[in-house]
Amino acid sequence: MATGQLFSRTTQALFYNYKQLPIQRMLDFDFLCGRETPSVAGIINPGSEGFQKLFFGQEEIAIPVHSSIEASCATHPTADVFINFASYRSAAASSMAALKQPTIRVVAIIAEGVPESDTKQLIAYARANNKVVIGPATVGGIQAGAFKIGDTAGTIDNIIHCKLYRPGSVGFVSKSGGMSNELYNTVARVTDGLFEGIAIGGDVFPGSTLSDHVLRFNNIPQVKLIVVLGELGGRDEYSLVEALKQGKVTKPVVAWVSGTCARLFKSEVQFGHAGAKSGGEMESAQAKNQALRDAGAVVPTSYEALEIAIKETFEKLVEEGKIAPVKEFKPPQIPEDLNSAIKSGKVRAPTHIISTISDDRGEEPCYAGVPMSSIVEQGYGVGDVISLLWFKRSLPSYCTKFIEICIMLCADHGPCVSGAHNSIVTARAGKDLVSCLVAGLLTIGPRFGGAVDDAARYFKDAYDRNLTPYEFVESMKKKGIRVPGIGHRIKRGDNRDKRVELLQAFARTHFPSVKYMEYAVQVETYTLSKANNLVLNVDGAIGTLFLDLLAGSGMFTKPEIDEIVEIGYLNGLFVLARSIGLIGHTFDQKRLKQPLYRHPWEDVLYTK
């Protein structure tokens, strides 16, 4: 290992196994440091490709996602750090694959619990090929103001608090990621800040060791002071002792080895490690602290005194003029995420959609304020649901019953009408249900199914303007418009439409007033005098009776009635009803496995 800086302000990483939060934290750190490029060049997510949207400052960026390590390295040849967020089961294999890529120089393994024999292979390969492994079982590391691995140094608040957005003069290495956070705070308090911090991870065999990084720090000119936090157990600190004794470390080292209380416990330990017993004393915190002290490191008497030791050592360097003053700058504000800002009441944002008929946010959905359980428990019907969702009120039961009768009457009118025909043809072309349904629905308009709406409009207009049937029919005739709701292909004055009779009977029994319908009957009387087939048809009956429903129920104001007629509620009723039939025809054709429909030549007049 040794050699110098691992990272710079242009270092880019490939991130294995997409994790939104750590990547966003890296990008936020980049923005804080004023980096021009995001530190994550690409994401590797086995089995998926495309992009992940993340924030770089205020802007959204799309980071490419690759399905293999090889592909990502080929696409991003300048990305030389591999951050591995794979699980402990697959971390070793993916790390080895990354180490084998010529473009990858540093592999950081976050997973904790990688089998030791697997880690051994990674270490052996990295050593032979001059690459650096950080971890396993680590949070990673950070170069202040330049590059950060994953979750290192925690939240943005903490990073700002510890001034990690700009480089200082301290190189820090420890096993533990949690203690790194503590020490970053300490370093920020008593020195000009961190230059680089590495957590080597808690495994017995870390990919790189405390002494590896100390020797590297020694080669980095900006690092003036090295802080090491060791732990009882293992012999790594002795490599550092050796390096110190041999004069390989020329910069002041402040060190502390945790675990001094270990000696407190006298009970013998069952441990058959071939070297453990003899090594036991050597590997104690006390012994290591003493050895480091003897080798020339500054070693305090307790962990709490570590802060003072760092402070004094740093101040001495300042007195000696070895520390250049750090250029301070105010880091830019990281825009807060909208969700958390709204949650904390810091911002308000206009909504883009308004809805007044239903609400799905509570325990159960509500239709116009009526919870689903009431709708079911109180035996509401489809008519009631329509009245809630369309009219935003509960209408009297005769009204909802009338709506249901209309839907039943209009649900279908045989296979030959244009809507059903279109649905049938579409179904036979092998299309899906929705295509068949809309193919049929698309025919509904001025010539097909539009009569209900129009009948209501014209009859309402005529009645409200007190036109006599004669004036109404003749004025329409002058305009060249057929009176909608009047006339039938088959039915005659002496052979009324059964559906019309049913509706009229129901309305006369239940409606408080049927004035619009009676007006229509008067109109029909007049038109029948002109031709026997000009009867009031089902469209006219529904249209006018609906006007009676709106006006007679006392549930609607006049402007409301005008609006209902104006924006096409009656057409809605027809569309809803006929959808039932169109779906039926579609299923019918599919069930019958009917082949593609082709209109016969004989049925077409070919002419010039």
Partner 1 sequence: MVRGLLKQLTFRSLSVAGKWQQQQLRRLNIHEYQGAELMSKYGVNVPKGVAAGSVDEVKKAIQDVFPKESELVVKSQVLAGGRGLGTFKNGLKGGVHIVPTNQAEDIAGKMLGQILVTKQTGPQGKIVSKVYLCQKLSLVNEMYFSIILDRKSAGPLIIACAKGGTSIEDLAEKFPDQIIKVPIDVFTGITDEDAAKVVDGLAPKGADRNSSIDQVKKLYKLFSETDCTLLEINPLAETADNQLVAADAKLNFDDNAAYRQKEIFALRDPSQEDPREVAAAKADLNYIGLDGEIGCMVNGAGLAMATMDIIKLHGGTPANFLDVGGNASENQVVEAFKILTSDEKVKAILVNIFGGIMKCDVIASGIVNAAKQVKLEVPVVVRLEGTNVDQGKTILKESGMALITAEDLDDAADKAVKALTK
Catalytic residues: 273
Q: Of 180-239, which residues contact partner 1 (CB under 8 A)?
A: 181-182, 185, 199, 201-205, 229, 231-235
Q: Residue 300, CB half-sphere, CA atoms under 13 Å: how many? A: 20
Nearer to partner 1 by Cβ, of 110 and 249: the residue is 110
Eight-state DSSP code of residue 33 = H
Nearer to partner 1 by Cβ, of 196 and 384: the residue is 196
Rounded to 10 deg, the angle between the 116-129 and 91-99 helix axes is 10
Binding map of partner 1 across residues 94-113, x = CB under 8 A, - = no contact: ----------------xxxx
Nearer to partner 1 by Cβ, of 192 and 203: the residue is 203
Amino acid sitting at position 147: F
Q: Of 12-71, which residues contact partner 1 (CB under 8 A)?
A: 22
Q: Residue 301, CB half-sphere, CA atoms under 13 Å: how many? A: 0
The answer to whether residue 139 forms part of the interface with partner 1 (CB under 8 A) is yes
Q: Which residues of 327-358 are buried (b: 16+ CB within 10 A; e: fewer)?
A: eeeebeebeeeeeeeeeeeeeeeeeeeeeeee
Q: Of 77-96, which residues contact partner 1 (CB under 8 A)?
A: 88-89
The answer to whether residue 127 forms part of the interface with partner 1 (CB under 8 A) is yes
Q: Of 466-485, which residues contact partner 1 (CB under 8 A)?
A: none
Binding range to partner 1, per CB under 8 A, among 283-291, 383-391, 433-441, 448-456: 283-291
Nearer to partner 1 by Cβ, of 232 and 310: the residue is 232
Amino acid sitting at position 599: H
The answer to whether residue 343 forms part of the interface with partner 1 (CB under 8 A) is no
Residue 109: CB minimum distance to partner 1, A: 10
Binding range to partner 1, per CB under 8 A, among 49-57, 187-195, 298-306, 330-338: 298-306
Q: DSSP string covering 112-151, please?
A: S---HHHHHHHHHHHHHHT-EEE-SS---EEETTTEE-TT
Residue 259: CB minimum distance to partner 1, A: 5
Sole binder of partner 1 in the list 59, 117, 339, 360 (CB under 8 A): 117
Residue 336: CB minimum distance to partner 1, A: 14
Structure tokens at 271: 């441990």
The answer to whether residue 568 forms part of the interface with partner 1 (CB under 8 A) is no
Q: DSSP string covering 424-445, please?
A: HHHHHTT--HHHHHHHHHTT-B
Q: Which residues of 542-564 are buried (b: 16+ CB within 10 A; e: fewer)?
A: bbbbbbbbbbbbebbeeeebeeb
Binding range to partner 1, per CB under 8 A, among 267-275, 370-378, 385-393, 484-492: 267-275
Q: Of 413-472, which residues contact partner 1 (CB under 8 A)?
A: none
The answer to whether residue 155 forms part of the interface with partner 1 (CB under 8 A) is yes
The answer to whether residue 601 forms part of the interface with partner 1 (CB under 8 A) is no
The answer to whether residue 175 forms part of the interface with partner 1 (CB under 8 A) is yes
Residue 223: CB minimum distance to partner 1, A: 22
* Residue 293 vs residues 162, 254, 287, 289, 296: alpha-carbon distances, Å: 28, 9, 10, 6, 5
First to last CA, the chain: 89
Q: Determine the Cα–Cα distance for residues 97 and 119; give it in Å rounded to an integer.
A: 13
Residue 84: CB minimum distance to partner 1, A: 13
305-308's contacts with Cβ under 8 Å and 24+ in sequence apart are: 306/186, 306/229, 306/254, 306/256, 307/186, 307/189, 307/190, 308/190
Binding range to partner 1, per CB under 8 A, among 34-42, 171-179, 508-516, 537-545: 171-179
Sole binder of partner 1 in the list 28, 80, 196, 283 (CB under 8 A): 283
Nearer to partner 1 by Cβ, of 64 and 234: the residue is 234
Binding range to partner 1, per CB under 8 A, among 146-154, 400-408, 505-513, 532-540: 146-154
Binding range to partner 1, per CB under 8 A, among 220-228, 258-266, 333-341, 476-484: 258-266
Residue 161: CB minimum distance to partner 1, A: 7
The answer to whether residue 241 forms part of the interface with partner 1 (CB under 8 A) is no
Name the burial class of residue 167, with classes exposed (0-12), middle (13-18) and buried (19+) by CB atoms within 10 angstroms of its CB: buried
Q: Determine the Cα–Cα distance for residues 272 and 182; give it in Å rounded to an integer.
A: 35
Q: What are phi and psi of 544, to 5 degrees?
A: -75, -35
Sole binder of partner 1 in the list 34, 64, 280, 584 (CB under 8 A): 280
Name the burial class of residue 61, with classes exposed (0-12), middle (13-18) and buried (19+) by CB atoms within 10 angstroms of its CB: middle
Partner residues linked to 141 by β-bridges: 198
Q: Of 301-330, which residues contact partner 1 (CB under 8 A)?
A: 302-304
| Contacts of residue 53, Cβ cutoff 8 Å, sequence gap at least 6 | 60, 61, 62, 63
Q: Of 514-553, which residues contact partner 1 (CB under 8 A)?
A: none
Sole binder of partner 1 in the list 60, 102, 250, 271 (CB under 8 A): 271
Binding range to partner 1, per CB under 8 A, among 43-51, 280-288, 319-327, 380-388: 280-288
Q: Residue 467, CB half-sphere, CA atoms under 13 Å: how many? A: 18
Q: What are phi and psi of 256, to 5 degrees?
A: -145, 140
The answer to whether residue 341 forms part of the interface with partner 1 (CB under 8 A) is no
The answer to whether residue 580 forms part of the interface with partner 1 (CB under 8 A) is no
Nearer to partner 1 by Cβ, of 110 and 255: the residue is 110
Sole binder of partner 1 in the list 74, 77, 120, 468 (CB under 8 A): 120
Sole binder of partner 1 in the list 2, 65, 68, 279 (CB under 8 A): 279
* Residue 107 vs residues 20, 205, 290, 416: alpha-carbon distances, Å: 19, 15, 33, 71
Nearer to partner 1 by Cβ, of 161 and 457: the residue is 161
Which residue in the block uniquely carries the two structure tokens 């934290």? 25
* Nearest Cα to Cα of residue 82 among 97, 67, 61, 65: 97
Nearer to partner 1 by Cβ, of 171 and 177: the residue is 177
Residue 87: CB minimum distance to partner 1, A: 9
